[in-house]
Amino acid sequence: MLHIGGRQVPLVLTRSRRKTLSMSVGEKGVRVNVPWRVPHAEIDDFIRERQVWLERTLEQVEACRPSELDCKDGATFFYLGVKLRLRVVPCLFADVRRVGRVLWVSSPSDSETGMLVKGWLRHRAQHLLARRVHHFARQLGRRPAFALSNARTQWGICHPDGRIRLNWRLIQAPLHVIDYVAAHEVAHLVHLDHSPHFWKQVDALFAGADNGREWLKKNGHSLMCL
């Protein structure tokens, strides 16, 4: 357990073949990933140096619990940075179809409409995010395994064994933001850190990285609330 800002938070420590220490925060607590031979004293220092970040991030996670979409007929939400209007039609058989900027949802009941819309978003995310990851990975001659993530504080992760996961909520963001996150994680296939060489690799893969990074800093928090 960690003592952060007057609260006790579960800590999970995972050792692997990675070269650097990393930290993530979720609804279940804090996870720290470290190389095999890193001593506990160095891990303690790593956590202590990030106390302010931990407090701020935990507050964000607590303030941004999973929420249901406003599923009333006429409600709006974002898909690839475009505002779509929801039209709900009571129907015995569930179906979701996009026509221009309107998402038509045939829903058996009001309680199922939100699940249908989220399912549609996740399905689109699975295909589009995978395509963008493989687009950048081909530039490096790589073909990483891909899966969606449901994390609350990470947009993506590249595991030491080369597996890449991107947060499905990115499907709400404009394409250049998705491409930044995809390029970021693909660059970790070459550099498992955030050194100057890593950022050069990101820029080489995607020239619009700076714009994507800035957009996420300003707007990313709102995407996590879905």
For 212-225, the pLDDT digits (tens) are 999 998 888 888 87
Q: Tokens for 76, please give them.
A: 């709006």
CATH 3.40.50.300 matches 76-224: no
pTM: 0.74
Query: By CB neighbour count within 10 A (0-12 exposed, 13-18 middle, 19+ buried), where does 126 fall?
Result: middle
pLDDT of residue 17: 78
For 138-157, the pLDDT digits (tens) are 999 999 999 999 887 789 99
In whole numbers, what is the pLDDT of the chain averaged over residues? 89
Question: Which residues are CB-contacts of 113 (< 8 A; sequence separation ≥ 6)?
Answer: 69, 71, 88, 105, 107
Instruction: Please state whether beta strands 82-90 and 76-79 pair in parallel, antiparallel, or not at all (unpaired).
Output: antiparallel
pLDDT of residue 64: 58
Extents of the domains making up the chain: 2-63, 76-224
Is the pLDDT score of 63 beyond 70? no
Rounded to 5 degrees, φ, ψ at 172 are -75, -20
Q: What is the DSSP string of 48-72?
A: HTTHHHHHHHHHHHHHS-------S
